[in-house]
Structure 1
Amino acid sequence: MNHSISEVTLIFTIYGSAKPLNVLFFTLTILVYILQVFSNVFLMLVIYFDSSLHKPMYIFLFNLALNGLIGSSAIWPKVMENLLSDSQMGSFTACLVQIFFINFYASSAYSTLTVMAYDRYVSICKPLQYHTIMTPGKVKALLTVANIVPLFSLPVQVYLTSTLQLCRFSIQKLYCDNLTLISLSCVKSALFNLYGVFGTTILIVFPFIIVLVSYAKILTISLKASKDSQKKALSTCSPHLITFMNFSLVIFFSVIYNRINVYIPADINIFMSIHFILTPPLLNPIIYGIRTKEIRKSVSKLLWKRDFLHLGFRSQMHLTFDLK
């Protein structure tokens, strides 16, 4: 059966119809979403207002927090809408848009974590050359690559998915993802698998190898260094390493799960869907806020700084006087 994209309606069958329970889940979801937005925006503001944090590592961290906001906003609003709706449906076009932003969030964040690993490698293995290597121009170039590669590769993926002819219209997930839509198609195409392997290699496998190589060299140098240097390297790298390992587990788990054509219980399905978007945007600001000494100092300094504390109050006062 032929369908135009605008006519296709997809049904999310995993939500159920228990209204009181859905309201409870909606309340928890909106609290999580608010916490994610607050923690990432707060981290971005700390980095923006404290000039001592205008260094490569924290500029990359700023970009990582921004990616977290993109990922959260791509998923949670639609989940909350479905939780309160009598019929959990969505258009094929809206599903494609959601897929683009979810995949951009994941691939761009993973690329940013890779760039951060390279920054840590230069900082620890080549400390005397750090400022000549990590110049502002190079930082901009690395961030550009981290965002441009997903930005140009993902539209091809979305376009290929948009050409699918669907035979089924039920989605057993909380939100849309590319492999789920492909599984609904009438005909399996080798082109999708080929481009999927290419995208996975470019956006996941290569970055993973780069990070492994970077940390192997960091470990080699650290083992030869003094105890104090080892502690400094550990405190510098541990937030990034925790974040990268967590994100890697989430991504590889998601990719493997979506490619396994076996029945998986609904509870596990929901957990895996939520973990992908719940953990990284929520834990990244917390991990860096707790584990990074410079961030802790900046938060303490800015919270007690009069200009920072009364920024919103002064702006409101100026607006009031202007209105008068």
Structure 2
Amino acid sequence: MENNTFPLYFNLTMFLNLGSFRYPTFVLCFLLYVFIVSANAVIIMVITREKNLHEPMYLFIVCLCLNSIYGSTGFFTRFLRDLLSDSHLISRWACFTQVYVIYTYASYELTILGIMAYDRYVAVCQPLHYHSRISLRVVYRLVALAVIYPAFSVFTCVYLSARLPLCGNEIPKVFCANWPIVKLSCVPTGLNNLVGMLVSTTTVFLPLLFVLYTYLRIVLVCRKKSSEYKSRVIQSCLPHIVTFVNYSITVFCDVSLSRINVEELNPFLGVILSLEFVVIPPILNPLVYGLKLPKIRKVVFKMLSCLKRCH
């Protein structure tokens, strides 16, 4: 009875039978992971090494890149192994660990984007108070809040899910997720649903609404300014807007996928939709910030030219 209600393993059922394409797919995904880690590491190295980039906006970008490496590692280390395996069983402990890592990654992304929006809001709407309101002490406090609250709230969700007696062990995804596990419960899940809704509201919807509010205020301020001022604001805010819109779309796709019957979808489409939010943002973030922000782009190109001369 113990093994039936608290299964020792979960079965990830959305893996496709790749046949002879298994190894090329593994190589492609491994190279993708290497690119994600390398690209984000370059942005982190550039910002930490260049003293003129030790400003709040760039420190927040470092946090975003660190989170990309964290989330990608939490996903790819297991996913790459499963690509080469005929069995897609994952131990109970490993499954809930993966749930925690991926969900904290998702929450960190939104809370960091939220404090980045606040940084841009103060810079554009209250420029004379920027250095007093966004001091290094404030930056450290904001980052601590953006990390600590999701860590505890996601842990609460995972802990409540781990206590549920389950009537099955099949998870219709290529990685472990909380909601599919809750749906396997043999008992009512009212508390899980309530806590999950509270956590989703505070770590997903509130940051989203806050970002929208800050950019509405920025737009209202820019309406009365010159074209040159608007151009500078767009150049400063565009990377954050692109990152925010991209991540919002990928999260919406994942949330929508978790609420429908996955078996009714095209299997390939289901896999793509489930992978979006753990793959696309970590790829896009370093490209957007590395190519769009002049200070970072200048240092990156300088490093590349030095590497060419060395060879």
TM range (shorter): over 0.9
The offset of 1:178, in angstroms, is 0.5
C-alpha distance in structure 2 between counterparts of 1:189 and 1:123, whole Å: 45
Q: Secondary structure at the match of 1:69?
A: helix
- Residue in 2 that maps onto 1:106: 106
Matched, 1:297 2:298: yes
C-alpha distance in structure 2 between counterparts of 1:5 and 1:39, whole Å: 43
- Of 83-92 and 262-271, the range deviating more from structure 2: 262-271
**Aligned residues between the structures:** 309
- Residue in 2 that maps onto 1:313: none
- Residue in 2 that maps onto 1:180: 180
Matched, 1:277 2:282: no
CA offsets 1:250-297 (integer angstroms, 9 cap, x no match): 112212321234632212210111111111000000011111111112
Is residue 3–residue 165 contact of structure 1 (8 Å, CA) maintained in 2?
Answer: no
- Residue in 2 that maps onto 1:120: 120
Is residue 43–residue 65 contact of structure 2 (8 Å, CA) maintained in 1?
Answer: yes
Matched, 1:190 2:190: yes
Q: 1:140 to 1:5 in 2, by over 3 A?
A: farther
CA offsets 1:21-62 (integer angstroms, 9 cap, x no match): 221211111011000000011110001111111000000000
- Residue in 2 that maps onto 1:154: 154
Is residue 29–residue 80 contact of structure 1 (8 Å, CA) maintained in 2?
Answer: yes
Amino acid at match of 1:197: M
Is residue 114–residue 208 contact of structure 2 (8 Å, CA) maintained in 1?
Answer: yes
Q: Secondary structure at the match of 1:3?
A: helix
Matched, 1:28 2:28: yes
- Residue in 2 that maps onto 1:220: 220
Q: Secondary structure at the match of 1:224?
A: coil
Amino acid at match of 1:205: F
Q: After TM superposition, which residue ranges in structure 1, 4 or more long, deviate above 6 angstroms?
A: none
1:196-235 aligned at under 5 Å gives the runs 196-235=196-235
The offset of 1:207, in angstroms, is 0.6
Is residue 5–residue 93 contact of structure 1 (8 Å, CA) maintained in 2?
Answer: no
Amino acid at match of 2:21: L
Q: 1:256 to 1:13 in 2, by over 3 A?
A: closer
C-alpha distance in structure 2 between counterparts of 1:46 and 1:188, whole Å: 51
Q: Secondary structure at the match of 1:11?
A: strand
C-alpha distance in structure 2 between counterparts of 1:205 and 1:73, whole Å: 25
C-alpha distance in structure 2 between counterparts of 1:16 and 1:268, whole Å: 11
Is residue 239–residue 293 contact of structure 2 (8 Å, CA) maintained in 1?
Answer: yes
Is residue 174–residue 273 contact of structure 1 (8 Å, CA) maintained in 2?
Answer: yes
Is residue 12–residue 88 contact of structure 1 (8 Å, CA) maintained in 2?
Answer: yes
CA offsets 1:203-258 (integer angstroms, 9 cap, x no match): 01111111111001100011110000000001111100000011111112212321
C-alpha distance in structure 2 between counterparts of 1:90 and 1:152, whole Å: 24
C-alpha distance in structure 2 between counterparts of 1:228 and 1:88, whole Å: 56
Amino acid at match of 1:290: L
The offset of 1:185, in angstroms, is 2.0
1:55-70 aligned at under 5 Å gives the runs 55-70=55-70
Is residue 50–residue 302 contact of structure 1 (8 Å, CA) maintained in 2?
Answer: no
C-alpha distance in structure 1 between counterparts of 2:146 and 2:257, whole Å: 25
Matched, 1:85 2:117: no
Amino acid at match of 1:3: N
Q: 1:5 to 1:280 in 2, by over 3 A?
A: farther
Q: Secondary structure at the match of 1:112?
A: helix
Is residue 41–residue 65 contact of structure 1 (8 Å, CA) maintained in 2?
Answer: yes
C-alpha distance in structure 1 between counterparts of 2:188 and 2:29, whole Å: 35
Unaligned runs of 5+ in 2: none
Q: 1:55 to 1:4 in 2, by over 3 A?
A: farther
Q: Could you state the TM-score of these two structures normalised by the residue count of structure 1?
A: 0.91
Q: Secondary structure at the match of 1:10?
A: strand
The offset of 1:151, in angstroms, is 1.1
Q: Secondary structure at the match of 2:11?
A: strand
C-alpha distance in structure 2 between counterparts of 1:268 and 1:305, whole Å: 43
Amino acid at match of 1:260: I
Is residue 9–residue 91 contact of structure 2 (8 Å, CA) maintained in 1?
Answer: yes
- Of 291-300 and 61-70, the range deviating more from structure 2: 291-300
The offset of 1:77, in angstroms, is 1.3
Percent identity at matched positions?
Answer: 35
1:230-249 aligned at under 5 Å gives the runs 230-249=230-249
Amino acid at match of 2:280: T
C-alpha distance in structure 2 between counterparts of 1:186 and 1:256, whole Å: 24
C-alpha distance in structure 2 between counterparts of 1:244 and 1:169, whole Å: 35
C-alpha distance in structure 2 between counterparts of 1:190 and 1:127, whole Å: 47
